[in-house]
Amino acid sequence: MRLLRAVIYGFGKMGRNIALNILEKGYSVIGYDIDRSIKESIDNEELFHSKSFMFIEEEEKILQEIKPDDLIFLLVPPGKVTDEVLTVLLERLPEGSTLIEGGNSNYKEAMEWAALFKQKGIHFLDMGTSGGINGARNGLCAMIGGDAAVYEKIEPFLKEICCNDGLIYAGVSGSGHYLKMIHNGIEYGMMQAIAEGFEMLEKSEFDFNYSEVAKNWNSGSVIRSWLMELLIDSFQDNNKLDNVSGKMHASGEVKWLMEESIKLQLPLPVTYLSLMMRNRSLEDETFSGKVVSALRYSFGGHKVSKG
C-alpha cells in the first residue's frame, strides 16, 4: 500500500522522530501540535524543509486538511489529553479514515474508543511502541491492536518504518496497548536489576570505572543488552552520575499491569518491587535511582532532575 500521506497529531519527541522516519521513506507528512513553539524547534532539521512536509499550527486547520486516505498517528500523553483529542477526532475525522493511537494508553480505554470510532465508520488501531527516540527515528518496535483487515492494508507501510522483526499484529482492539503494558513491566524489572548491581559496586571497597564495567558486561556476557550499552555512555559523561537525580517517576502502564495481575491472581514480585523502588526513590537519593534515571533519559528522553 502506498499511502497518500501521514498525519502526525502530536509533535513531541516521538512524533517528530516518527515524522522524520516517514519522510525519509519518501512519504508526505503533515505535523500538528497544540504547542505552537514546537514549530521553531524543528526548523533546524533539513527534512522538515522539504516539499513533502507541512506543519500546521492551528487545530481547526489540521482537522479541515485531513482526508480519508490519510493515516493519522495520535502521539500525545495518555490520560486526559488523549481523551480530549479523541473526543474531537471522533466528531471531526472523515468516515473511512484510519487512526493509530500511539500514546501508551490503558488497553481497556482503547477497546472502548475503538467501538465508538467504529460506529462513526472510522478505523481505530492501538499501537504500543518501544525503542525510544532512536527507534522512532530509525525503526520502530510497534505492537498493533485492532481490526485485522484494517491492519493488513497498512502493514506494508508500517514495515517500512519499523525495524526488522519490530512489527507485530497483536490481535483485537486493546491488545497492542496490553502488550506494551507487559513490556514495560519487564523493562522495569530489568532496569532495577541493573541499577541494584551498580549500586552494590558503588558501595563496595573497590574503585570501579562503571563505563568500563558496562562495556565489559555488554561484550559477550549473558546480561548484554541495549540498556547496558546506554549505560556506557551515561557513565562516560559522569562516573558517579553526580549530574543526575535518582528520583524516578512511574509510568501508568506498570500500575495497570499490577491491577491486571491481581485480577488474574498472578504473582509478579520482580515487577511489583521495581515499581515500589520507583516510589521509594521520590523520597531519598539512591545510586540505583540515578542509574535508572540515566537509562530512562538515554532511551526515552524522559525528564531527569539534575543532582
- pLDDT averaged per 10 residues, the chain (length 307): 80 95 96 89 88 94 95 94 96 97 94 98 97 94 98 96 97 98 94 94 96 97 95 91 77 87 94 84 76 82 58
* Number of C-beta neighbours around residue 146 at 10 A: 29
Provide the pLDDT for residue 18.
97
Residue ranges of the domains in the chain?
6-172, 180-300
* 180-300, CATH topology level: N-(1-d-carboxylethyl)-l-norvaline Dehydrogenase; domain 2 (1.10.1040)
Bridge partners, 9 (sequence order)? 32, 74
Contact 146, 107 (CB under 8 A): no
Cell of 219: 561484550
With beta carbons less than 8 A apart as the criterion, state whether 76 and 105 touch.
no
pLDDT at position 2, please?
53
CA 198 vs CA 209, 213, 269: distances in Å: 11, 9, 21
pTM: 0.88
Active site residues: 180, 187
CA 161 remoteness from chain centre = 15
Coil/strand/helix, residue 163 = strand
The predicted structure's pLDDT at residue 199: 94
- pLDDT value at position 242? 87
pLDDT the model gives residue 244: 80
- Kindly calculate the radius of gyration of the chain based on its CA atoms and give it in whole angstroms: 20
Which three cell numbers mark 64? 479541515
Which CATH code for domain 6-172?
3.40.50.720
Region of 272 on the Ramachandran plot (φ > 0 left; ψ -120 to 50 alpha; else beta): alpha
Rounded to a whole number, what is the distance in angstroms from the first to the last CA of the chain? 49
The conformation of residue 79, written as its DSSP 8-state character, comes to T
Please tell me the predicted confidence (pLDDT) of residue 1: 47
**Residues in the chain, overall count:** 307
Alpha-carbon distances of 114 from 24, 80, 151, rounded to whole Å: 30, 17, 13
Whole-number pLDDT of residue 15: 95
